[in-house]
Structure 1
Amino acid sequence: MKVEREVPLSECCEVVSGGTPKTGVASYWHGEIPWATPKDLGSLSGKYISETPRKITQEGLDSCGATLLPAGSVLFSSRAPIGHVAVNAISMATNQGFKSFIPKPDYLDASYLYHWLRASRPYLESLGNGATFKEISKSTVGKVKIPLPSIDDQRKVARVLDRVDELCAKRCEAIDLLDELAQSIFLDMFGDPVVNSRELPTLPMSEIGKITTGSTPPRSNPRNYGNSIEWIKSDNIDNSSVYLTSAAERLSEDGAKIARIVDPGSILVTCIAGSTAAIGSSAIANRRVSFNQQINAITPFNADSLFLYYQLRLAKPLILEKVTGGVKFLVSKSRFGSVVLLNPPHAEQREFSKRAGLVLGLQDMNRAHLAELRSLFSSLQHSAFRKELLPA
């Protein structure tokens, strides 16, 4: 790929800031113009943004100095955080957390710019300034230089990266669908645990397993922390994975002596959080772990762990009923243990676990393929902007 030159972004596209109409003026809101925020880009699963939760009126647009970006522009969040990127599929405006780009036709390809901005995120983040939060200014981003091969070569690079991106998206979709399949198998076999319409036997959780609340060994004694055993926090409980993710922090042998530890097969559940959205998130421990006080764990007496895990996910409304409020939302050990769950015969639980295990095997296969694709994408991305992806 022949790169003719490196060009400042301000020379190959129009750099546009956003704005926010006054929230107290009703006539500025609930119009027909999509209005994007950085949060909207953070939740995207692909390259394009085609709708936004909030919309403004033409009067609102005129009041705040925002620009209506034509379809095919590239939205770039310039603060909180720096680096979210998307191409708008329809005309839209943005708030002031963006420095967006309207590429010059036949000079800069929007998809090429999209991929270059993603690849350059660490560098662009380093250009941010500010005490409360980092922000990259319009003048600064306009001076950033982008390697600019011919428009045909730009489109070739974008097509290659788009294809791998699409394959990654399909693997992610397959993983999500398989998760839905496992939940559907549970519902087909046992019904909804929230309502128990099949009138299956039930027990409070405290009779299904041992309930343990985590703890934090005193940090005043640095000898409590080391390399002996993982110390799980709520961010290691992610519903995209059946099992706990790896903890960044570990306890020492001294710390482990005063910590709360559970064995493999236990299910850890977030029970203290700043938002109810996190309450009830669960994951299975596939190794012996310690954990902090934001988490309650249940170690089954006889129940199948995989059966119990999927039931807890589907029964999250029952856990939320036990929440008490305050500065943070809380489900205490006793209230957690009082949640009533289905307790069908163990043979039926094991049959579900067998079926769900097959689904998890397919998920693992797709995750392995996804990891390979992401590695390939990273390599291609690295080559593309170092003039290596296409022959000269």
Structure 2
Amino acid sequence: MIPSKTVRLGDVTRIVGGGTPTRSSSEYYDGSIPWVTPKDMKSWHIDGSQIRITDAGLANSAARLVPAQSILIVVRSGVLKHTVPVGLNQIPVAINQDMKALLCDPEVHPEYLARFIKANSNQILSWVRATTADNFPVAKLSEMIIPLPPLAEQRRIAEVLDRADELRAKRRQALAHLDNLTQSIFLDMFGDPRQNPRRLPVETFGSLTDEFRYGTSNKSSNSGAPTLRIPNVVNGTLDLRDLKTVPATPAEFGRLRLFDGDLLFVRTNGNPDYVGRCAVFEQRLVRRSRFQPDQFIYASYLIRARVNKQRIHPAYAQVYMTGPAGRAALRDRCKTSAGQYNLNTENLGSVPIPVPSLADQLEFVERILKIDATKSLHRESLVELDTLFASLQDRAFREALLR
């Protein structure tokens, strides 16, 4: 067996930066060259971009065309508070100044190195400097030590992880289809809220809510009440994989304790797409945690909305807020400060929401409960696949160091 060697990342790659053509010149945009920005980094394989530039835009800016199978990594963005977007472009692309492209030497398999970088996201996140635009020093990336087994072994590791990741992607795709089905039922029953063809009465969310309240700003500790935070409000439900405990006095606990039907909204984030994300708290969703279901509270970056259930069903409100009309209304009400997007209770309360009869809302909720049951099964499967992927990843790179 040929032993692995360890190398500095900067010794086996060339790191290329990007730029933005001047916005004042129309001749630089709507061309044929994909121009990748952090907004495009939502999948592992990048095969296009939201914006395209022209040859003139490429020639007259710091943007550079990088070849297919380059490793693309976001080095400046608000999302670096939580994750490090990494991917591989399938076609030649240009990148903007918030991105770097890693061009690999022949002895490095790009997919292998990209997987290694993603597996070490926590190390990279520890380098992030909190400024108006969170970033990390690229020099530190160059100094990262990587195990470099023979090329055939790199390729084998990449293929194993690719297959496992493909299973996760299919499960996420199934969940996305179910989310679309929920929105389709909403549109079928109530019409598009932006046109309001059923002429439903429209009220502000605040007029339908008995109480808005911010969460605790106490720091997490080894003991205390289980506390939901931004990472726990994902895809319209509660994700308990990264659950913290926070000390709370009896008075604080009494104010912040969560009850069935409480809506939780993300109120601040560097990524505007995250602001306004919401989920309904239900004890059944947290029964598999190690905590008592009636002991949960929530953190300061979330807003709790306790709606008047005689007028609006929490699940109906949640589906509306996660649909196109609700998302657009929430986005319009976000304010920016120091690179952060923020939503306060006043702006949240001003969101217009169509209000069908309570009987119609209950019929809608009954229909989507069947979809939610299927989604729960898919989410449980996805958690298992995520655990399997993490185990395979850890084993692959640990063994690469030992070979």
Please tell me whether residue 332 in structure 1 is matched to residue 346 in structure 2. Answer: yes
Aligned pairs for 1:156-235 within 5 A? 156-193=156-193, 195-198=195-198, 202=201, 204=203, 211-215=210-214, 235=230
Q: What residue is the counterpart of 1:74 in the other structure?
A: 71
Q: Percent identity?
A: 27
Please tell me whether residue 286 in structure 1 is matched to residue 282 in structure 2. Answer: yes
User: CA RMSD, aligned part only?
Assistant: 4.5
1:265 to 252, 261, 264: 261
Is the contact made by 1:17 and 1:99 (CA closer than 8 Å) also made in structure 2?
yes
In structure 2, how many angstroms separate the alpha carbons of the residues matched to 1:294 and 1:382? 36
Letter in 1 for 2:236: S
- Which secondary structure state, in structure 1, belongs to the residue aligned with residue 355 of structure 2? strand
2:310 to 287, 292, 301: 301
* Per-residue deviation, residues 157-204 of structure 1 (Å, max 9, x unmatched): 11110001111011111111112212222333343455443456x585
Is the contact made by 1:284 and 1:309 (CA closer than 8 Å) also made in structure 2?
yes
Letter in 2 for 1:181: L
Is the contact made by 1:226 and 1:251 (CA closer than 8 Å) also made in structure 2?
no
Check 1:177–1:248 CA distance in 2 against 1; reply closer, same or farther (3 A cut).
farther
- Which secondary structure state, in structure 2, belongs to the residue aligned with residue 51 of structure 1? coil
Q: 1:269 deviation in Å? A: 5.1
Check 1:212–1:276 CA distance in 2 against 1; reply closer, same or farther (3 A cut).
farther
Q: What residue is the counterpart of 1:84 in the other structure?
A: 85
Q: What residue is the counterpart of 2:17 in the other structure?
A: 18
In structure 2, how many angstroms separate the alpha carbons of the residues matched to 1:183 and 1:229? 34
Is the contact made by 1:213 and 1:333 (CA closer than 8 Å) also made in structure 2?
no
The 10-residue stretch of structure 1 (66-75 or 307-316) with the greater mean CA deviation from structure 2: 307-316
In structure 2, how many angstroms separate the alpha carbons of the residues matched to 1:143 and 1:206? 51
Please tell me whether residue 51 in structure 1 is matched to residue 48 in structure 2. Answer: yes
Q: What residue is the counterpart of 1:155 in the other structure?
A: 155
Q: What residue is the counterpart of 1:353 in the other structure?
A: 365
Check 1:227–1:150 CA distance in 2 against 1; reply closer, same or farther (3 A cut).
closer
- Which secondary structure state, in structure 2, belongs to the residue aligned with residue 300 of structure 1? coil
Letter in 1 for 2:94: A
2:395 to 376, 379, 383: 383
* Per-residue deviation, residues 339-382 of structure 1 (Å, max 9, x unmatched): 5511152xx54443333122111111111111111111111111
The 10-residue stretch of structure 1 (24-33 or 375-384) with the greater mean CA deviation from structure 2: 24-33
- Which secondary structure state, in structure 1, belongs to the residue aligned with residue 398 of structure 2? coil
The 10-residue stretch of structure 1 (307-316 or 323-332) with the greater mean CA deviation from structure 2: 323-332
Q: 1:134 deviation in Å? A: 4.9
Q: How many residues align?
A: 376
- Which secondary structure state, in structure 1, belongs to the residue aligned with residue 68 of structure 2? coil
- TM-score, structure 2 length as denominator? 0.73
Check 1:151–1:28 CA distance in 2 against 1; reply closer, same or farther (3 A cut).
farther
Letter in 2 for 1:156: R
Please tell me whether residue 343 in structure 1 is matched to residue 357 in structure 2. Answer: yes
Where structure 1 has 5 or more consecutive residues not aligned to the other structure, the ranges are: none
Is the contact made by 1:273 and 1:294 (CA closer than 8 Å) also made in structure 2?
no
Check 1:4–1:151 CA distance in 2 against 1; reply closer, same or farther (3 A cut).
same
- Which secondary structure state, in structure 2, belongs to the residue aligned with residue 265 of structure 1? coil
Check 1:305–1:213 CA distance in 2 against 1; reply closer, same or farther (3 A cut).
closer
In structure 1, how many angstroms separate the alpha carbons of the residues matched to 2:60 and 2:331? 44
- Which secondary structure state, in structure 1, belongs to the residue aligned with residue 85 of structure 2? strand
Letter in 2 for 1:20: G
The 10-residue stretch of structure 1 (113-122 or 267-276) with the greater mean CA deviation from structure 2: 267-276
Check 1:59–1:374 CA distance in 2 against 1; reply closer, same or farther (3 A cut).
same
Q: What residue is the counterpart of 2:288 in the other structure?
A: none
Is the contact made by 2:28 and 2:55 (CA closer than 8 Å) also made in structure 1?
no
Q: What residue is the counterpart of 1:240 in the other structure?
A: 235
Check 1:343–1:272 CA distance in 2 against 1; reply closer, same or farther (3 A cut).
farther
In structure 2, how many angstroms separate the alpha carbons of the residues matched to 1:38 and 1:324? 20
Is the contact made by 1:229 and 1:252 (CA closer than 8 Å) also made in structure 2?
no
Where structure 2 has 5 or more consecutive residues not aligned to the other structure, the ranges are: 284-293
1:316 to 294, 313, 326: 326
Letter in 1 for 2:235: S
Q: What residue is the counterpart of 1:34 in the other structure?
A: 34
- Which secondary structure state, in structure 2, belongs to the residue aligned with residue 385 of structure 1? helix
Check 1:112–1:251 CA distance in 2 against 1; reply closer, same or farther (3 A cut).
same
Is the contact made by 1:36 and 1:54 (CA closer than 8 Å) also made in structure 2?
yes
* Per-residue deviation, residues 99-147 of structure 1 (Å, max 9, x unmatched): 4222234x22121111121123334455678988553335x54454432
- Which secondary structure state, in structure 1, belongs to the residue aligned with residue 113 of structure 2? helix
In structure 1, how many angstroms separate the alpha carbons of the residues matched to 2:268 and 2:136? 32
